[in-house]
Structure 1
Amino acid sequence: MKHLLLFASLALAVSSTAEETRSITLKDLPLLFADDSGVASSSGVKRTVHPARTRPQPVLEGSVPQEGSRVYLTGSVYHGEATGLLSMWYAGHPDLPGGKKPKVAGFRGGKGNFVLYATSKDGITWERPALGLHEFQGSKANNIIYDFHSPSVLLDATDPDPARRYKMLGSLTGAYYSATSPDGLTWTGPKEPIVKSSDNITLTQDPRTGEYLAFLRKYPTIIRGYPRRTVWLARSKDFIAWSKPELVFAPDEQDDAWAAATTGQRTEVNNMSVFPHAAGFLGFPTIFRVTATDRPASELSHGQSGTDGTLDVQLITSVDGRQWQRTEKREPIIARGAAGGFDGGSIFGVCSTAVHVGDKTWVYYTGISTTHGAPMPPKRIAIGRAEWRRHGFVSLDAGPESARVETQPLRLSISQLVVNADAAGGELRVGLQEADGRPIAGFSLEECMPLNVDDMRWTPKWGSSATPPTDRPLRVVVAMKNSRLFSLSCAQPRP
């Protein structure tokens, strides 16, 4: 009997541990509904992808010598909630006679790009502080901080070493490299590369494991007979040793349906930025429809690419960063702008972070006024801003019939569940259950006071006035009519 009781106790402990492992923590990141990674079951809802609103004019374009006539953003933008100031890490490409690379003491050159730093109070007007760190053209009164191509910066609050609080990946000639910084301005990096390949790269972190994820181009990848740009993943637990890159996202046959195979037309993936959420990741790949390639150098002007075509941005999803699923109808979530506009030809790359300010979510991007392979001029490359309602990339929508969404077990970090939903003209209620589906007294759907307006920070209230438990995982049940559900979070509600 003692053995049976011991076995039962062990089984219960293992079961409890497994339940904790399967639960999703709501802490700093919201639970989004771009896929079913956080959904246990649903009925009566449809998933809607919401394309961004973009501005007709760029928020930043080349205007100083260290930027040249083109600026790029695969880098990062962060919002300092305490100061209200936004910080941007981006790249400029100085225009020097004969295409010479800029010379700066201690810099290695690479593709001739500078990593630059700018700040803004409103996210539209950007200031270039005179940092005094590196001399260029006889002056240190500039915003130059490093020399990577395709810089991507991560603000890592989890690293106990303050000297490594900021982390950056980028490329130089032939390889990708890393660098660290205590303040995001003064950087040091190892001499040895992390991967022997180079071009575009973005950096993020898995919030569940703390692992660093680098999404990079490893060209060429031969797919269906053609060399293509594709997305590869390298991983690191300490930002020092990196795994061998593995192919994680490439164009499929449906992506090539538009192309005339006899002419060599095809689809490629130029680069991809990745944003974590509570149950997985959103990917923003730039889909490159190649109309011409391998044009001889004799036909190209200085700085012109031998590959031509248009690019826009789609949305894909993943639970682990390795296996990715498409969102249908494969339409752009950031589309090209009007013909003749700064982004009318291509969306070349997307910021490696999303910015959430008030009731808005912003994603900054690189816009090109022409196709990828056009000469400069007339090609113009500048930075624009895509805009959504807060966490508004995707919603689960209900019509006039009753609909229901039940989440996977969630572990709330604070006793304050926040719902982002539009129930104007409809109704939405929230109930809570134990992780195994048993009801929790006082938190039923019927006891929930309904939401009947559009509210991005709605805090459900129940008749019992009790607050949600935080000592164990629980399931959130949402009952909806004529409403849209965007996200769940434990972010502090409005004052």
Structure 2
Amino acid sequence: MRLLLCLSITWCLHLFTSTGASAEERSINLGELPLLFADDSGISSKSGVTRTIHPAKQSTTPVLQADKFWEGDRVYIHGSVYPDESSGGFRMWYLTRQEAIPNIKDIAVPGFRRNRYDVVLYATSRDGITWEKPVLNLHAFAGSKANNIVFDLHSPSVLLDKHETDPAKRWKMLGYFGGDYYAAVSPDGLKWTSYPDKKPIFPEGDNISLAQDPTTGDYLAYHRLHATIRGTSRRTVWLSRSKDFATWSKAELTFAPDEADDDWITEPKQRTEVNNMSVLPHAAGYLGFPAIFRVTAPDRKNLSPEGKSIPFPKGQSPTDGYIDVQLITSADGLHWQRTEPRVPVIARGAPGGFDAGTILSVSSTAVHVGDETWMYYTGLTTSHGGALPEKRNAIGRAVWRRHGFASLDAKDAIGSVQTIPLHLTSTRLIINAATGKHGLVRIATLEANGSPIPGLSLDESSGLREDATQWEASWKSGATVPTDRPVRILIELKNAKLFSLAAIAGKPS
């Protein structure tokens, strides 16, 4: 496996450590947040299986695009999507940049930060495909509050904080304005207040994505800063942490392009950068979705007919190139490994499509509905540095099998996967796997030391012989998995793919 640029000797040693069990092997909680198999962070041992990374199926048309006066000519999904707990539908926070709207200085929302006139917008949907833009009557644009405007930051990343005890701060947001990062809180996701005040939480940057440690509740801010990599200044991803959403740690470089990322380069000054990165937690670690930016034409100049350098038109970047999204993994949220091969999991679309030129950004959340997992992304019709009006931004939807970013696969020969010790929060052990012709998945539960538990052996497993995203493991003995001590789960596969494990108290969604 190719490794990232090592930021410290400790990290390098960590990446070369084998998966085998040891006296100091960690244990983790397993509940509704599933254990995924994109890396070995939750695995003690495995044999006879290979890992497959699965690209998403992407929408061929946008699910949301700019069609309101206050949205100008583009919308982005630097923001987040959550299930709506009250209606059963979905809620989206997205972004527009209003700088190209005629007379924007005169009609912008009073009291909002201006600069490039970034505003956060809100939409709802019953099915995740057709989105409505409700009239919220919160902020006046062009003299009218009949719009869906909720706040005033770039790359707004929204978090529903289930660890928060103060109802006024149940929803949290990080975003960017004028060179610095800012925070806000809300009781309902609609009425936002700067937090802890209107001052920046930390300086410098552009794009940002907010995640949360599912165990400690700590806040993780993945934000973009430039770093010198192999002699060249590049966009990279840095991590700042907070326990209270007010005081943040000094940023640490967490993900940067390595030498293999530059293999495509043919001309001087071309380079690979990381435009931004969304991060999703799972039971044993994190998945990262870096937007890999192949800069084909850096530092371009816009020349007048007389040959003089002039500013680029609003909405056009001097840096050109193409972006798609890959998958990386981490056990701790700081040190990352690449998945191989380095295939796009959200790829640029077909020529002429709304996302043909660039995948600019990905939502900071995933939505799990039935047998599917959804993420939303910003698609551009042109390359990053394309010019208006040819350049259009719209929002698309990427769909995987439920938790289906990666799988461990066995063919005709039997394969096996044994987890690290797990503290199960429920006796209902849920398996996400697919079997082929004559395929079979069997489950055993072992003590933390690897010894068998009577009644929970492979031979007594009822076995899975079909494709099921939420199959409840059972045994002929009628025994159930222990929840009073850590145990290991042993999965045996033949002609099958294993995607995830979970322990769910209620009925699977």
Give the 3 Å change call, closer, same or farther, for CA 26–70 of structure 1 in structure 2: same
- Residue 242 of structure 1: aligned partner: 248
- For normalisation by structure 2, the TM-score amounts to 0.91
- Give how far 1:106 is off: 2.4
Match of 2:456 in 1: 443
CA contact (8 A) 2:444 2:457 kept: yes
Alignment deviations for residues 5-43 of structure 1 (CA, whole Å, 9 cap, x no partner): xxxxxxxxxxxxx99992111123100000000000000
Decide which of 258, 263, 273 is 2:268's aligned counterpart: 263
1:25 to 20, 29, 52: 29
Cα offset, 1:468, TM superposition: 1.1
Letter in 2 for 1:248: T
> What CA distance in whole angstroms lies between the structure 2 residues aligned with 1:101 and 1:376?
22
Cα deviation code 1:51-77 (max 9, x no counterpart): 000011000000002211100011100
Q: C-alpha deviations, 1:144-167, integer Å up to 9, x for none?
A: 000000000000011111111000
State the alpha-carbon separation in 1 of the partners of residues 106 and 46 from structure 2.
56
- Give the aligned partner of residue 332 of structure 1: 344
2:260 is aligned to: 254
TM-score computed with the length of structure 1 as normaliser: 0.94
Structure 2 counterpart SS, 1:69: coil
Q: State how far apart, in whole Å, the 2-side matches of 1:302 and 1:392 are.
A: 39
Pick from 142, 146, 157 the counterpart of residue 162 of structure 2: 157
Deviations 1:258-290 (A, max 9, x none): 012x42110000000000000000000000000
Percent identical among aligned pairs is 58
Say yes or no: does 1:104 pair with 2:116. Answer: no
The aligned residue for residue 173 of structure 1 is 178
Q: Which is further off, 65-74 or 81-90?
A: 81-90
Secondary structure of the residue aligned to 1:258 is: coil
| Farther off after superposition, 242-251 or 96-105 | 96-105
Once the two structures are superposed, the pairs formed by residues 410-489 of structure 1 within 5 Å of their partners are 410-425=422-437, 426-489=439-502
* Other-structure match for 1:209: 216
Change (3 A) 1:58 1:442: same
Spell out the pairing of 1:46-61 with structure 2 (5 A cutoff).
46-61=50-65
Aligned-residue RMSD, C-alpha? 1.6
1:144 maps to: 149
Alpha-carbon distance in 2 for matches of 1:102, 1:224 = 46
Deviation at 1:110? 4.0
TM-aligned CA deviation for residue 107 of structure 1: 1.2
1:92-151 Cα shifts (integer Å, max 9, x gaps): 122422775962222112431110000000111101111010000111011000000000
Aligned amino acid, residue 183 of structure 1: D
2:124 and 2:133 in contact (8 A); partners too: yes
* Equivalent residue runs for 1:52-451 within 5 Å: 52-81=56-85, 83-94=87-98, 95-97=100-102, 100=105, 103-189=108-194, 190-218=197-225, 220-260=226-266, 262-297=267-302, 298=310, 300-425=312-437, 426-451=439-464
Q: Does 1:42 align with 2:46?
A: yes
CA distance in 2, matches of 1:101, 1:149: 20
Q: Tell me which moved more, 141-150 or 293-302.
A: 293-302
Select between 467-476 and 304-313 the one with higher mean Cα deviation. 467-476
Tell me the distance in 1 between the aligned counterparts of 2:319 and 2:230. 18
The answer for unaligned runs of 5 or more in structure 1 is 1-17
**Following the alignment from structure 2 to structure 1, what is the Cα–Cα distance between the partners of residues 467 and 378?**
32
Query: Residue 315 of structure 1 contacts residue 326 of structure 1 at CA under 8 Å; is this kept in 2?
Result: yes
Shift of 1:230: 0.4
Deviation at 1:493, TM superposition (A): 3.8
Cα distance in structure 1, aligned partners of 2:281 and 2:489: 21
Match for residue 10 of structure 2?
none
